[in-house]
Amino acid sequence: MTLNKEAIKKDFNKKLMHMFSEDVEDASNFHKYLAFSSLIKEYCSENWFKSNKQYRKNAEKQVYYFSMEFLIGRLLRSNLLNLGIEKESEEALKELGVDLRDLEEEEKDAGLGNGGLGRLAACFLDSMASIGMPGHGCGIRYKYGLFEQKIIDGYQVEIPDNWLKDGNAWEVRKDDKAVIVRFGGKVNPVMKNDRLNFEYKDYDEVLAVPYDMPVIGYHNNTVNTLRLWSAETVESDDELDFSSFNYGDYSKAVQYKSAVESISKVLYPDDSHIQGKILRLKQQYFFVSAGIQSIIRSYLKTGKPINDLYKHVAIHINDTHPSLSVPELMRILLDEKEIEWDEAWNITTKTISYTNHTIMAEALEKWPVDLVKNLFPRIYMIIEEINRRFVEKLCLSYPNESSKITKMAIINNGEIRMANMLIVGGHSVNGVAKLHTEILKSRELSDFYELYPEKFNNKTNGITHRRWLIQANPRLAEFITETIGDRWRKHPKKLIELLKYSKYSSVQDKMDEIKKDNKIKFANTVKSRYGIIIDPESIYDVQVKRLHAYKRQILNLFHIMYLYNKLKENPNLDIFPRTFIFAAKASPSYYLAKDIIKLINTVGKKINNDKSIKNKIKVLFLENYRVSLAEKIIPCADISEQISTASKEASGTGNMKFMMNGAITIATLDGANIEIRDEVGDDNIITFGMSAKEVMELEKNRGYSSSQIYNNDNRIHKIVNQIMSGYLGESSGEFRNIYNHLIEKNDEYFVLKDFDSYVKAQEIVDGLYRDRKKWVEMSITNIAHSGEFSSDNTILKYARQIWNAKKVKIY
């Protein structure tokens, strides 16, 4: 986009006047933010139109990424960056006395996701647009995103995230594209023209209204769409339809309205505990049905026959949450387009593909038959028929293996298994890192792998280097460009060219200086926000991610307590000063996770206030972890903590963001950590702990006893007793849950088992960090290899191997 700063200045003044009747001097920062964002949206509107027009005119294959979560964060800076007008905007605003960074801080994070899965969806959207692929997001416009976290007296307190309260500058409401989604009612089979048809009766209608957000490609003309659906009553706005209720029964009408609107009201703050909530199931069907209806409507406008749908449309399912896509697409093809079953099935399976994001049993979705039957009777009939046909096929393939058939059936024991339905009803299922895919194939989904080996494939996750390097760490990005030129910005794999400079003193010094500056800036923020003084010369050792027992924040904390105990014994102990930084939200109903947050804060308070250890270690817990906070903390990290129990973390994507910003990873051989190690080599990562194979063996043969370790390892014994005894300043019962988890319930995630190996790995960190040259060389090596983990790279593989989609140049 070619826009000079004079034009931007003029347009911005005009916009401010037009929207608020204010000039730059009078307007608040928030108004300036709104006016400026609205201007940026205007700048991209023509290309948005052109992209859509061209996709439709040429019936280009379009990918629709269906996800319950899109954790997109803030958009102002990334939109400017992708449009190529970041510098011009900064200068234009500066000349008007406005600092772009102040406007950025006015933007609320769009926190429409829990963690990795939602953020991956956001990175994928950015990559699809940036490599010029017609790929769009389809999800829910939650009125409340993931809760805001406050830490009060060390405890997590959840506050509703009313992010839309003052409007969303980036969205466009499309009333004319609204569709109706039906719930409940009855289905009657009827014969019509010699064909069995199904009549729906007595259902409730919900109006699904799309809000579109532009997804701007990097320095190309592509603008794709993130379409988020909002649930409304079918009647026009405030006019309640009293005819469908007892006339005058106002409160009933109001109740109805609020029941309908509840569907898109709140994002479930869970990232692994399936709770079988009716509302969540309604949310799933709501956006799936709306999305597929709108895709088909738009597809038919190209003039192509419905039978060719799969040639022009790919629907990708992000985890099982949108799994009702299979029966919903079947329903539309069978009942509305009057296509016969076999042909409808052929179209459906060729259109749909699915990614699995976890092997944690508690996150594998199953829904009760009765619930599905009542909420979506026709959909249930279709699922039953899919299951019937599938089981029939299994009986032929495995005539004497009834237990296998029971395990693989879609419906069993009064429940519908969503993953099974997707594997059967789609053409591709992928895991998100090599190890994860191997575990799926050899264990969780082995029966399906045997039946359909051709459907299984791996797609290791990736992250967008635009947000996580260019935007989050602009000085590093600039220096990389000074060193190797700017081709890496479009082709992140070119970062590998940095390798030749990893031993150059001048490059090392500059890298070191940039990291140090980032750390100083962060220390200043911490001082002014939390009143805690941290030393930018210390090692910043960072673990930021959702709080979950398998991610083992507690292992990190045990190491901290171990160091603290050593320092108490010998305050002159020679350890390199460290600042341990945590940030994590816990699901509100996940009590163990909340106790761990309290424990981190309690330990932090004790250590930070203990003068006797001479500031050698500090512990910080940053509240309200979210995308915009991640962008601030990751560029400062020296150490990236990726310490999940091997086999449990499907991939991890934080690991990639840290690596790209020059942090050194301390890791178990889990998820994508393994691929990071394969890229950078053993000398540039610090690994420890049991392998996935060892973990799975121990799980299988039950050969583990945590209390044995507790009784035999003095370090651990002491730490556990300190936690339980009130030594930390809390009552002795405060951390009972944690004790029970680790000792009484035999430490499900092998924290005590891996402790010794972790401590040794941390000693290696301490030693390595003292050798500045070596450390920076490692850091550069990590940055150089990080291009492999760009989501552009990942998306190209999805496009070639799953979607069969091509790039389209927009003119």
Instruction: Report the alpha-carbon distance of residue 542 to residue 553 in Å, rounded.
Output: 11
Q: How many residues in total does the chain contain?
A: 811
Can residue 268 be called a binding residue for ligand 26V (CB under 6 A)?
A: yes
Sign of the CA dihedral running 460, 466, 472, 476:
positive
Question: Which positions from 679 through 738 interact with ligand 26V, judged by CB under 6 A?
Answer: none
Q: Which is closer to ligand 26V, CB of 85 or CB of 433? A: 433
According to CB under 6 A, which one of 117, 123, 129, 330 is a site residue for ligand 26V? 117
In the complex, least distance from residue 747 CB atom to ligand 26V, rounded to whole angstroms: 20
- 363 contact partners, CB below 8 Å, separation of at least 6: 271, 272, 273, 274
Q: Which is closer to ligand 26V, CB of 363 or CB of 498? A: 363
Can residue 631 be called a binding residue for ligand 26V (CB under 6 A)?
A: no
Does the annotation count 491 as an active-site position?
A: no
**Are the C-beta atoms of 111 and 163 separated by less than 8 Å?**
yes
Q: Which is closer to ligand 26V, CB of 117 or CB of 586? A: 117
Does the annotation count 32 as an active-site position?
A: no
Does the annotation count 551 as an active-site position?
A: yes
According to CB under 6 A, which one of 16, 98, 263, 274 is a site residue for ligand 26V? 274
Q: Which is closer to ligand 26V, CB of 649 or CB of 679? A: 649
The separation between CA 38 and the C-alpha centre of its own chain, rounded to angstroms, equals 26
Does the annotation count 546 as an active-site position?
A: yes
Q: Which two tokens stand for residue 367?
A: 């829904």
Judged by CB under 6 A, the stretch of 55-63, 356-364, 630-638, 714-722 that binds ligand 26V is 356-364
In the complex, least distance from residue 655 CB atom to ligand 26V, rounded to whole angstroms: 9
Sign of the CA dihedral running 444, 446, 452, 455:
positive
Annotated catalytic residue, options 282, 657, 753, 785: 657
Q: Which is closer to ligand 26V, CB of 445 or CB of 484? A: 445
Q: Which two tokens stand for residue 213?
A: 């957000």
Strand order of the β-sheet with 411-412 is 366-368, 415-417, 411-412
**Cβ-closest residue to ligand 26V?**
116
Instruction: Report the alpha-carbon distance of residue 753 to residue 705 in Å, rounded.
Output: 9
Does the annotation count 545 as an active-site position?
A: yes
Annotated catalytic residue, options 136, 312, 489, 545: 545
Can residue 357 be called a binding residue for ligand 26V (CB under 6 A)?
A: yes
Amino acid (one-letter) located at 60? E
- 285 contact partners, CB below 8 Å, separation of at least 6: 181, 183, 324, 328, 375, 376, 379
Question: Which positions from 642 through 661 interact with ligand 26V, judged by CB under 6 A?
Answer: 649-653
In the complex, least distance from residue 190 CB atom to ligand 26V, rounded to whole angstroms: 37
Can residue 116 be called a binding residue for ligand 26V (CB under 6 A)?
A: yes
Binding mask 448-467 for ligand 26V (x = CB under 6 A): -------------x------
User: Which of 212, 216, 220, 110 lies closest to 165 in space, CA to CA?
Assistant: 110
Does the annotation count 657 as an active-site position?
A: yes
Judged by CB under 6 A, the stretch of 100-108, 191-199, 263-271, 401-409 that binds ligand 26V is 263-271
According to CB under 6 A, which one of 284, 348, 358, 430 is a site residue for ligand 26V? 358
Query: What is the DSSP code string of 504-569?
Result: -HHHHHHHHHHHHHHHHHHHHHHHHHH-----TTSEEEEEES---GGGTHHHHHHHHHHHHHHHHH
Instruction: Report the alpha-carbon distance of residue 725 to residue 720 in Å, rounded.
Output: 9
Cα–Cα distances (Å) from 75 to 92, 264, 640, in that order, read: 19, 22, 26
According to CB under 6 A, which one of 63, 120, 547, 659 is a site residue for ligand 26V? 120
Binding mask 290-319 for ligand 26V (x = CB under 6 A): -----------------------------x
Question: Which positions from 361 through 400 interact with ligand 26V, judged by CB under 6 A?
Answer: 363
Can residue 667 be called a binding residue for ligand 26V (CB under 6 A)?
A: no
According to CB under 6 A, which one of 339, 379, 424, 432 is a site residue for ligand 26V? 432
Query: What is the DSSP code string of 600-612?
Result: HHHHHHHHHT-GG
Judged by CB under 6 A, the stretch of 8-16, 112-120, 614-622, 701-709 that binds ligand 26V is 112-120
Q: Which two tokens stand for residue 541?
A: 């050792």
* SS3 of residue 65 by DSSP: strand
Instruction: Report the alpha-carbon distance of residue 305 to residue 303 in Å, rounded.
Output: 7
Annotated catalytic residue, options 282, 551, 552, 585: 551
State the residues that interact with ligand 26V by CB under 6 A: 114-117, 120, 268, 270-274, 319, 357-358, 363, 432, 461, 649-653, 671
| Catalytic (active-site) positions | 357, 545-546, 551, 653, 657
